[in-house]
Amino acid sequence: TTKEMTLGSLSYLAPEQAADASVVDHRADIYALGVVFYEALTGRIPLGRFYLPSEINRELPSDIDPIVLKCLATEPGKRYANVGQLLEQLQKFEEKMRFQLLDELQGLKRGTSMILGPTGFLGKRGVIVLFVLVALVLVGIGGWMLLNPVAEPPAPIDSPATPAPPADAAGDRGDASPVASPPATEGPAAPPTAAAPPVAVAVPVEKPAKESAAAAKPGTAKPPEAPATTPAKPGVDPAAADLEVARGKFDAKLFDQALSDARALIAAYPASPLALDAHYLAAKSLASLGRGQEAIGAYVEIQARFKGDPRAAEAAFQQAKLVQAADTKKSADEAKRLYAESAATYPASPWSARALAAKAEIEREQRVTVRDGALGATVPAALATYRDLTARFPAEPVAEKAWWELGRMYEDEKRWDLAAEAYERLTQHFPQTRLDAWFQLAEIYERRLKDAARAKQAYGKVPTTSSHFKEAQRKAGN
């Protein structure tokens, strides 16, 4: 094999190892241990967007999640710096779990049932604790093996009293059996060999890096090279992995944890393009936690911080929606004002179409009227809003209902020509509409505008899904 070749199961390869095997270092082994740990705890491989161990198995302590996530960090720099650091963290956690198990066995823990029943078997809680301890042992053994690889026997030192062995014997790597360390000599001592790990996870002292083959031969030693660093992947935002974890917690309805992670991401990566996504996640988490006023404040902050970003329009809409949710007359008026302000501030955003639709619904409920200059009459305020919406966003999804409501309101005002135009535009922009626009249009042509030819044509286009289909077919002469 060569330095550039990649070995190992794909499921256990670190992201940087799969991308470019020539730049990996020992932190790829940390990732592999994280996969082993995750699989031991959940029975699954952490691929793509994965759930936390405690989310898959609710009996697992949530304290174990940060350890696993740090091992599985996408960026090598966010993982444990070395195996010893990981094992030190595992030892602390393992001690806590052993004390919990001891409490369970002795029946000292208040508020929980005894885990030793009449039959003497462990109860559910005790089994979980033992299960976690076994997983810790598995990872501990893997870490110990990384820290204590089977080393080659050191090259014998030439001396007048001891003849040098053949060169190939000193470097023979074909013998799989462990070789006993030679007795101490006046030469440099070999690194100490750690004992086999105990059943519980222990923290072995990390050994110095193995000397290269050239360094083992007198006269050919080379100065030690600086450890290779893993360059960041071009085009990959380091905040992406943290954001995915936070979103996963939100999807799992762990809103308080998602909020905490989103705020931490904002603090750590304020200049990241993903900072706006983190702000939105924080606002959504606050709303989901029932902290409406704080969520409104979060959306206001988004509009202030990202004023020039087109996505700020969503924040304006969500702010108005939360205000409306208070469900009082005052809040409805304030929400109506905010919807109008949003549509004016972000005139080209699809969120403005939704804002106008929401504003029109409030106006319909309040039965508000305005003096309309175009019609020269006092009309429902919602009519003017729907007209504005359909003129600016004729094909947006919310415009389908807006065209329909506009047609009905024009009928109420006895503006048959405008009503017919609204229904016709509805069928043009939404050919598969389930609203009965074709039949309504045909009725206006037949009864109000006295245009028999166009009425017959419209009756013929009434879809089979219409409750007036048979009547329309008869009038169309089919």
Q: What is the pLDDT along the chain (478 residues), one digit of tens a residue?
A: 444 444 446 778 888 776 777 778 888 888 888 888 888 888 888 877 788 888 888 778 888 888 989 999 888 889 998 888 888 888 788 777 766 665 555 554 444 443 334 433 344 555 455 556 556 655 565 655 555 554 444 544 544 444 444 444 334 443 433 444 444 444 444 444 333 444 343 334 444 444 444 444 444 444 445 444 444 455 578 899 999 999 999 999 999 999 999 999 999 999 999 999 999 999 999 999 999 999 999 999 999 999 989 999 999 999 999 999 988 879 999 999 999 999 999 999 999 999 999 999 999 999 999 999 999 999 999 999 999 999 999 999 999 999 999 999 999 999 999 999 999 999 999 999 999 999 999 999 999 999 999 999 999 999 999 999 999 999 999 8
Host domain of residue 40:
10-152
Pick the last residue of a domain from 121, 152, 183: 152
Give the contacts of 416 (CB within 8 A, at least 6 positions apart).
Answer: 410, 444, 448, 449
DSSP single-letter state for residue 444: I
Q: Which class for 205: exposed (0-12), middle (13-18), buried (19 or more C-beta within 10 A)? A: exposed
pTM of whole model > 0.85? no
Cα–Cα distance for residue pair 352/276, rounded to 1 Å: 19
Residues 264, 145 share a domain? no
Inter-residue contact 146 to 83 (CB < 8 Å): yes
Inter-residue contact 396 to 353 (CB < 8 Å): yes
Pick the last residue of a domain from 309, 334, 356: 309
For residue 140, count other CB atoms closer than 10 A to its CB. 26
Cα–Cα distance for residue pair 93/65, rounded to 1 Å: 11
Residue 280 lies in a domain: yes
Residue 229 lies in a domain: no
Residue 218 lies in a domain: no
Residue 179 lies in a domain: no
Cα–Cα distance for residue pair 353/386, rounded to 1 Å: 10
Residue 387 lies in a domain: no
Residue 110 lies in a domain: yes
Cα–Cα distance for residue pair 243/281, rounded to 1 Å: 9
Residue 67 lies in a domain: yes
Residue 255 lies in a domain: yes
State the total domains in the chain.
2
Give the contacts of 327 (CB within 8 A, at least 6 positions apart).
Answer: none
Q: What are phi and psi of 378, to 5 degrees?
A: -85, 125
Pick the last residue of a domain from 136, 152, 168: 152
Cα–Cα distance for residue pair 2/25, rounded to 1 Å: 15
